[in-house]
Chain A
């Protein structure tokens, strides 16, 4: 019985590992494409990272980033890649919820959901503030 659970945990992890690598490759590619395009457009202007002003709102929310990507805006494409990268560990937690559910380990379904809830709070609630 104990052995079965162990193998099952390992299977969940193996699929997760592939999922994460795929996520990193896709987001890395997006960042690279957006980055090259950004450098072609703005490569010879002067950077302004010295003082913090906060990014314009079109680079903060998911829907506006998506809209920028459709219009092939270089910074939006990079931001989309970064967003996808942030999503990879979140996907890992979602996957764990499903895995624990299949194993009928409801205590850990609950624990994973709590973690997911805290991350969701960080992504969605501050926007209103």
Chain B
């Protein structure tokens, strides 16, 4: 296979990954790494490097759209980024020393976990508890606009959320994915923030977290321009198209289909990891 053909196939695959990733909210990274490693036998370190950059591109590209809604909380985001960036640096450092087949197996399990989460029903539980001492000191309370008017909220269980964010950062740095699902869990489940605030703030954090580990990947030579070029261009294009098609109500079947594909890829990654083929 020539470089041209390889680049075109990867471009098309990344375009699809970016499109479906943006429609389902799962991000493209979870598909790109299996596509490159299982489909083309690309070394997983290169695949992670390329995926990390595409994660940054989607996060930065989507930011402008989220800003219009005015509900992301940059204080909560910035405070928790201390945890995610520390975790990301740790994860990227770990990736340097971890054997590729172990990374593949961990990747597989994280994929299954993400797929299960994506199918979970998202219901808005509004906890309007009083702000604790911690939350008040850190100004982690705010309000956001809804159809029923402004709703006030305050962050709960800050140590729990902070710890969960460090894990999310670690996974992101180790596997080169945005780990948006874990970030949303930390904010939604642990800190009891409104779901909309969690998702938009998570998008803000994904880019910064990925940048923290991308620095290490570039220094170590994991960022291959020839491979990253079609991946990044494809994902940007796909995510852009995805943001233009607003089919909010009909993403359910797409989400289920995507979850099935992810679980299939996950088992492939685990199998290839255990048998040492990756």
Residues of A within 8 A of B (CB): 6, 9-10, 12-14, 16-18, 20-21, 23-24, 27-28, 31-32, 34-35, 38-39, 42-47, 49-57, 59-61, 75-76, 78-79, 82-83, 85-90, 92-93, 96, 105, 107-108, 111-112, 114-115, 118-119, 121-124, 126-127
Report yes or no: B4 in contact with A44, Cβ–Cβ below 8 A: yes
Report yes or no: A12 in contact with B6, Cβ–Cβ below 8 A: no
Supposing A42-B3, A111-B82, A122-B215 touch, asked if A49 and B56 sit within 8 A by C-beta, the answer is no
Supposing A16-B63, A89-B56, A111-B78 touch, asked if A82 and B226 sit within 8 A by C-beta, the answer is no
Some 30 contacts from A to B, beta carbons below 8 A apart, are A6-B143, A17-B68, A20-B64, A35-B229, A42-B3, A43-B3, A43-B7, A45-B2, A46-B3, A47-B226, A51-B43, A52-B222, A54-B221, A60-B220, A78-B226, A78-B228, A82-B218, A88-B56, A89-B208, A92-B60, A92-B207, A96-B78, A107-B138, A108-B139, A111-B79, A111-B82, A115-B78, A115-B208, A126-B216, A126-B219
Report yes or no: B229 in contact with A31, Cβ–Cβ below 8 A: yes
- Tell me which of B53, B60, B66, B74 contacts A23 (CB under 8 A): B60
Q: How far is the CA of A56 from the CA of B204 in the complex (A)?
A: 32
* Given pairs A28-B57, A85-B56, A86-B214, 20 additional interface contacts (CB within 8 A): A14-B67, A16-B67, A21-B63, A31-B233, A43-B3, A44-B2, A49-B41, A49-B46, A52-B45, A85-B53, A85-B60, A86-B215, A89-B60, A93-B81, A96-B78, A115-B82, A121-B89, A122-B92, A122-B216, A124-B215
Report yes or no: A17 in contact with B232, Cβ–Cβ below 8 A: no
Which chain A positions have C-beta within 8 A of B160?
none
Report yes or no: A119 in contact with B82, Cβ–Cβ below 8 A: no
Q: How far is the CA of A119 from the CA of B207 in the complex (A)?
A: 12
Taking the nearest CB of chain B, how far is it from the CB of A101, in angstroms?
Answer: 13
Which chain A positions have C-beta within 8 A of B2?
43-47
Taking the nearest CB of chain A, how far is it from the CB of B89, in angstroms?
Answer: 5
Taking the nearest CB of chain B, how far is it from the CB of A20, in angstroms?
Answer: 4
Q: How far is the CA of A31 from the CA of B227 in the complex (A)?
A: 11
Report yes or no: A60 in contact with B208, Cβ–Cβ below 8 A: no
Q: How far is the CA of A45 from the CA of B226 in the complex (A)?
A: 12
Which chain B positions have C-beta within 8 A of A108?
75, 78-79, 139
Residues of B within 8 A of A (CB): 1-4, 6-7, 36, 40-43, 45-46, 53, 56-57, 59-61, 63-68, 70, 72, 74-75, 78-79, 81-82, 85-86, 88-89, 92, 100, 138-139, 142-143, 204, 207-208, 210-216, 218-230, 232-233, 236
Which chain B positions have C-beta within 8 A of A93?
78, 81, 208
Supposing A49-B46, A86-B211 touch, asked if A59 and B139 sit within 8 A by C-beta, the answer is no
Q: How far is the CA of A12 from the CA of B230 in the complex (A)?
A: 33
Q: How far is the CA of A9 from the CA of B218 in the complex (A)?
A: 33
Report yes or no: B223 in contact with A79, Cβ–Cβ below 8 A: yes
Q: How far is the CA of A118 from the CA of B225 in the complex (A)?
A: 25
Supposing A13-B72, A17-B63, A28-B233 touch, asked if A123 and B219 sit within 8 A by C-beta, the answer is yes
- Smallest CB-CB separation from A86: which chain B residue? B214
Which chain B positions have C-beta within 8 A of A42?
3, 226
Report yes or no: A86 in contact with B43, Cβ–Cβ below 8 A: no
Report yes or no: A54 in contact with B220, Cβ–Cβ below 8 A: yes
Which chain B positions have C-beta within 8 A of A17?
63-68
Which chain A positions have C-beta within 8 A of B143?
6
Q: How far is the CA of A38 from the CA of B4 in the complex (A)?
A: 9
Taking the nearest CB of chain B, how far is it from the CB of A104, in angstroms?
Answer: 13
Which chain B positions have C-beta within 8 A of A92?
60, 63, 204, 207-208
